[in-house]
Amino acid sequence: MTRRFLVGGNHKCNGNKESLKSLIEALNCANIPPKDTVEVVIAPPTLYLDYANTQINRDRFSVSAQNCYSESKGAFTGEISAEMIRDLALDWVILGHSERRHIFKESNELIAKKTKHSITQKLQVIFCVGEQLSDRNANNTEKVLDEQLHSLSTALSVEDWKNIVIAYEPVWAIGTGVTASPQQAQDAHVYIRKWLAEKVNEKVSSETRILYGGSVTATNAAELAQQSEIDGFLVGGASLVAASFITIIQSVS
Ligand code: PEP
């Protein structure tokens, strides 16, 4: 089973219209593999989604929201819905990022509900999982992954999984400059794939793309990408620097 590489750039709450404009200009003329070899998705802050989608070369890149709520509309001040993302003609949303889980205290259940709702609106979801340093030190990595995946699988039908890309992002590696070693990342990805085979089915296990995220840089991407179970990256900081992001994209082909 060939899984197409995917590289996501999560801008988080960074940048402005001017910096996004230069980033997009650089991406539009970058020498990167075609979309059917490497899929590239950028996730600017919500306010710039429409701008990004009108400026970017959509034959080569897609634009993703960084989050959305679990309901279609209503009295949820500050939130956006999956329907609104679709209304902008976007296909992607990131859900369950560790910053949503830990800073904004989103529960496994809420994230699973958001994911199901997004899929009903025909969005593709980059669903993030990952353990904190204390979990890893206490040998609880697998337990944390089990819990995060379990609540997702109870919300989804088997069919829904074709709209899911999993991003394994150990919290201790996000924005810290400490990258998981290729072996640590590979081991976690093998575990997630085994989990999918046992709890969902073999087909979902072999077809679901599993990205690695956590201090991926232009320097370490190529070695990580060589791991058999790493199907791409979710990149934070390095996705804001055109040259680094382009090198990361080139390194996975
Ligand atoms: C992220 O935000 O998903 C991330 C992995 O960040 P960074 O690459 O900066 O560690």
Asked whether residue 66 carries a pLDDT value surpassing 90, the answer given is yes
DSSP classification of residue 7: E
Asked whether residue 253 carries a pLDDT value surpassing 90, the answer given is no
**Within 10 A of 197 (CB to CB), how many other CB atoms are there?**
14
- Please give the Cα distance from 84 to 90 (Å, whole number): 9
Sign of CA dihedral 100, 101, 107, 109: positive
Q: How far is CA 85 from the centre of its chain?
A: 16
In this predicted model, what pLDDT tens digit does every residue of 33-56 receive, in sequence order? 999 999 999 999 999 999 999 999
Q: What ipTM did this prediction achieve?
A: 0.98
Nearest to 172 by CA among 209, 213, 210, 144: 213
- Position 1 scores a pLDDT of 65
The ligand 1 site (C-beta within 6 Å) comprises: 10, 12, 169, 174-175, 213-216, 234-238
Q: How is the chain split into domains, by residue range?
A: 5-251
Mutate to test the pocket of ligand 1, among 215, 239, 241 (most ligand atoms within 8 A of CB): 215
Active-site pick, 39, 106, 169, 189: 169
Nearest to 214 by CA among 200, 234, 199: 234
Helix, strand, coil shares of the chain, percent, nearest 5, are: 45, 15, 40
Fold of the 5-251 domain: TIM Barrel (3.20.20)
Read off the pTM.
0.97
Mutate to test the pocket of ligand 1, among 64, 234, 239, 248 (most ligand atoms within 8 A of CB): 234
In this predicted model, what pLDDT tens digit does every residue of 92-104 receive, in sequence order? 999 999 999 999 9
